[in-house]
Amino acid sequence: MFYDLHVHTNISIGENTLEETAEMAKRLGLGGIGVVQYYPNYSELPLVNGIDVVKCTMIKANNVNELSDMISKARNRCEVLMVHGGDYDINRAACENSMVDVLCHPELGRKDSGFDHICAKAANENNVAVEVNFREIMESYKKNRIYILSAIKKNVTLYKKYDVNIVTASGAVTKWGLRSGRELSAITNMMGLDLGHAIDSSSLIPENIVSQNREKLAGKRWQGAQIVE
């Protein structure tokens, strides 16, 4: 089952309704979409037949202290907790916090990758996944696209070396920005990840994040323990 964990609808910065977005996702063969809302918004999301709608919260902090405070307040109110990356200090702090699920686009708005071996080690130790964002590539142009492609490729090399989980997502703000799971996987494969792990980045890894967090929210999973029925 393919998941796209970073999708915007008109409840945040997107153009289309959840229903319109979900319908397009189903046509593309996606099994689930992560509908992103920015902290502190927590609008309830309706169920949609034929697709798993995941409640994601994106934290966009101005500094590390603010980030830590927001994470603590948001953790138990969403199924996937994401951090808006780009600033190196924010990137590193997100990787060092085990309550974070996904660090999004660490290279955003930079001339370098915004990520290093310190971040990679921390992400591995704290089980924080790092995103490869399709929209970031598609909406860039000329020299900016060169910077972004170079940065993502460099970061993928670090993810592989330190065994960091990768989540590939569209970052779509319209239904036309969505991509099928195999298209998302192909992007990460082109950035240097082998095909099997690239497919996992848009299927197994995001699906595991969602299922484990739902078990925690339901009181069926704790750190190092799980209720088996």
Give domain limits for the chain.
Answer: 3-226
One CATH from 3.40.50.2300, 3.20.20.140, 3.30.420.40, 3.40.309.10 for 3-226: 3.20.20.140
**28-39: average pLDDT:** 98
Is this prediction's pTM over 0.85?
A: yes
Question: In a 10 Å sphere around its CB, with 0-12 CB exposed, 13-18 middle and 19+ buried, how is residue 194 labelled?
Answer: exposed
Question: In a 10 Å sphere around its CB, with 0-12 CB exposed, 13-18 middle and 19+ buried, how is residue 137 labelled?
Answer: middle
Does residue 130 carry a pLDDT above 70? yes
Cα(182)–Cα(188) distance, integer angstroms: 10
pLDDT per residue as tens digits for the range 172-222? 999 999 999 999 999 999 999 999 999 999 999 999 999 999 999 988 655
